[in-house]
Amino acid sequence: MTRHVPALVVGGGISGLVCAHALRKSGIDAQLVESSPRPGGVIHSITRDGYLLELGPQSFSSTPALRELCAELGISSELLQAPPRAPRYVLIDGKLQPVPLSPPAFFMSSLLDGSTKWAFVRDIFGKSIPPDDDESVAAFTRRKFSKQFLDRLVGPFVSGIYAGDPERLSLRSAFPQLYEGEQSAGSIVRGMMRLAKSKKGPRERPTLQTFRRGNETLVHALANKLGPALFTRTRVAAIARQDNGSLDVRLENQKGDESISTRSLILATPTDVAGMLLSQLDSSSQSPLSSIEYAAVAVVSLGYRKKDVGHSLNGFGFLVPRSASLRVLGSVWNSSLFPGRAPEGHALLTSFVGGTTDPSATKLKPAELASLVHREISAVLSTKNEPVFSNVTIWPRALPQYNLGHSDRLAAVAKSCSRFPGLWLTGNYLRGPAIGSCVDQALAVAEEVRAKLVPR
């Protein structure tokens, strides 16, 4: 028998959870189906041997919508903020150098040479026009600033967010504010200042956050609110359009197959699944979603006795330029940022390996990854002994790449979706991969669905 639901959300990562929650809050009986046994997608916190680990994102930036959501879910008091002035480092010539975080620090820093600093002065007082063609992050950085700035700061920063390759990432898709800043103000610095001024509300320094019991607190709170409207171990296998305009959704769960009919279907899955489902509606073409590349990433958490680490570990962690010829992309010093991450007298350090510039790294065995990371970070942090704890998680499809042509691919997807009223997409490949961006995108989609189902 076919059950009818007013709105069905597919995929219980943060995007799907927030979308389903917002729909239900607005009075729509939305249901959420998630194929795996647990909701949360790549957000996964575990406790083992006294360590509190994040297997996916380590923390997130606070945004107005996230703050409001936490307040509404009653979990604001669980939030922890990383020390806002914790230094971040970049590995240059085998040494950790602090990343300049303010304009005076930037101009005083020995990290960058005079010609890079002069390029910033030129940007502030001059005028430039971005090219019409989609420009890569690397080409943009070389055109506006310098090769050194690309190698020492932009490249490592891009690894930290996308685990991506600046030669292939599209500036206008991956960092739209920089592109729009140059287009509207003729200067990156003036454009960014203009954007900051146009933001409503008090100025705030972006802070990194997590919860006392890990990022999954947000997932649990959303899942609890959804209650029986959340179905885990339930996979969407196929969708089809009915003559009356509804969408027929075939679910597979432990009980077998079930069919659901809905007038509002929100796909909050990664692009391989969304693309596969879309191509079932439009058999004439393969969805452009299928061609969005993902970076594979290994997340390696190591625990050390503090007395075995020569470095003070005072800071956020460090990023590694590709020219340093290490396989570690960067390391987060979890126990320096948040309390309760490691047993007394121990430190928890989480490193990332792989990304689009080193895809074969994630094919290594977990034990090989743990020893590779230990070897590489030991040289940087002067550790004396082997780690006393390790955990390795491999994400074969960790982060979508906003590569050259991304905006064209999304425009083609939007055009194809417009032929199927009642079908929406949300997820980390649309407006940015950060948790806050996924939340913003999911809320915007929920509002579009609400406006269609319950016009005011």
Ligand X SMILES: Cc1cc2nc3c(=O)[nH]c(=O)nc-3n(C[C@H](O)[C@H](O)[C@H](O)COP(=O)(O)OP(=O)(O)OC[C@H]3O[C@@H](n4cnc5c(N)ncnc54)[C@H](O)[C@@H]3O)c2cc1C
Q: Which of 105, 137, 129 is nearest to 188 (CA)?
A: 129
State yes or no: residue 402 binds ligand X (CB under 6 A).
no
Please state the closest distance from residue 273 (CB atom) to ligand X, in A: 4
Q: Least separation, in Å, of the C-beta of 228 and ligand X?
A: 17
Site string for ligand X, 417-436 (x = CB under 6 A): ----------xx----xxx-
Residue 342 touches ligand X, criterion: CB under 6 A: no
Q: How far is the CB of 391 from ligand X (least distance, A)?
A: 13
Q: Treating both helix axes as pointing N-terminal to C-terminal, what angle do 14-25 and 216-226 enclose, rounded to 10 degrees?
A: 40
Nearer to ligand X, 260 or 297 (CB): 297
- Phi and psi angles of residue 403, each rounded to the nearest 5 degrees, phi first: -80, 170
Task: Check if the beta carbon of residue 6 is closer than 8 Å to that of residue 263.
Answer: yes
Interface map 213-252 toward ligand X (x if CB under 6 A)? ----------------------xx----------------
Q: What are phi and psi of 448, to 5 degrees?
A: -65, -40
How many residues bind to ligand X according to rule CB under 6 A? 36
Shortest separation between residue 380's beta carbon and ligand X, angstroms: 20
Among 96, 399, 417, 425, binds ligand X (CB under 6 A): 399
Among 5, 12, 119, 171, binds ligand X (CB under 6 A): 12
Piece of the chain touching ligand X by CB under 6 A; list 27-35, 67-75, 141-149, 358-366: 27-35
Query: Residue 435 Cβ, how far from ligand X at the closest point, in Å?
Result: 4
Count of Cβ atoms closer than 10 Å to residue 107 Cβ: 12
Letters for 35-64 (x = contact with ligand X by CB under 6 A, - = none) are: xx----xxx------------xxxxx----
For the bound state, the minimum distance from the C-beta of residue 365 to ligand X, rounded and expressed in Å, comes to 18
Q: Which of residues 297 and 347 has its CB atom nearest to ligand X in the complex? A: 297
Sign of the torsion angle spanned by Cα atoms 340, 207, 66, 277: negative
* Complex with ligand X: residue 41 or 181, whichever CB lies closer: 41
Phi, psi of 391 (to 5 degrees): -150, 130
C-beta of 305: minimal distance to ligand X in Å?
A: 26
Helices 176-185 & 188-198 angle (0-180, nearest 10):
100
Q: Which residues contact 94 (CB under 8 A, 6 or more apart)?
A: 324, 379, 380
Q: Under rule CB under 6 A, which residues in 74-103 are in contact with ligand X?
A: none
Count Cα atoms within 13 angstroms, Cβ side, for 156.
26
Kindly report the length of the chain. Answer: 456
Residue 183: CB minimum distance to ligand X, A: 26
Q: Please give the span between the terminal C-alpha atoms of the chain, in angstroms, as a whole number.
A: 33
Between strands 230-231 and 30-33, the pairing is parallel
Helices 216-226 and 64-73, packing angle to 10 deg = 60
Distance CA 269, CA 266 (A): 9
Window of 172-180, 195-203, 264-272, 309-317 that interacts with ligand X by CB under 6 A: 264-272
* Residues 6 or more apart whose Cβ sits within 8 Å of residue 147: none
Q: Which is nearer to ligand X, 223 or 347 (CB)?
A: 223
Stretch that binds ligand X, among 28-36, 109-117, 256-264, 360-368 (CB under 6 A): 28-36
Residue 268 is a binding residue for ligand X (CB under 6 A): yes
- CB contact at 8 A, 14 and 442: yes
Q: What 3-state class would DSSP assign to 30?
A: strand
Give the three-class secondary structure for 394: strand
Minimum CB–partner distance for residue 403 and ligand X (Å): 16
CB-wise, 2 or 61, nearer to ligand X? 61
**Least Å from the CB of residue 399 to ligand X:** 6
Structure tokens at 174: 């991956």
Does residue 269 belong to the site contacting ligand X (CB under 6 A)? yes
3-state secondary structure of 297: strand
Touching ligand X, residues 353-392 (CB under 6 A): none
Site of interaction with ligand X (CB under 6 A): 10-16, 33-36, 41-43, 56-60, 235-236, 268-270, 273, 297, 299, 395, 398-399, 427-428, 433-435, 438
